[in-house]
Structure 1
């Protein structure tokens, strides 16, 4: 099975939260309400330095994905 790069997540226990799941390395779940990230990877110290520069881009990509999906829902 080939997964899309991003998925939207929903949970009725967290009605006000907006979750986006990034399925490629580095895998994570972000709550777009507060930009809190839960990493689904275990990183080595060397990886953390590389990721520091990637985090801002990954948040922007997740936000752009969400905005695109919401536009598509509104069009239907």
Structure 2
């Protein structure tokens, strides 16, 4: 099975939060409410500046993905 790059996630314990899962390396969970990020794998060997740039781009792409998905329901 081929996974999509992004998936929407929901948790009723956090009704105000908007979660997007990134399924490719680096796999992570982005909370669009405050742009917080939780990694699912060890990234300690990565170049910090390159990783920061990549994560910044992923947060932006996740926001665009969310807007597209929500736009389909409106």
TM-score, shorter chain, exceeding 0.5: yes
1:43 alignment partner in structure 2? 43
CA distance in 1, matches of 2:22, 2:29: 6
2:63 alignment partner in structure 1? 63
Instruction: Report the structure number with the largest CA radius of gyration.
Output: 1
RMSD, aligned CA: 1.2
**Deviation of the 1:20 alpha carbon:** 0.2
1:5 alignment partner in structure 2? 5
**Deviation of the 1:73 alpha carbon:** 1.1
1:23 alignment partner in structure 2? 23
Normalising to structure 2: TM-score of the pair?
0.91
How many equivalent pairs are there?
Answer: 74
Runs of 4+ in 1 over 2 A off after TM superposition: 44-50
Relative to its length, the structure with more helix (as a share) is: 1
1:23-53 CA distance string (max 9 Å, x none): 0011000110010100112013334342122
Normalising to structure 1: TM-score of the pair?
0.89
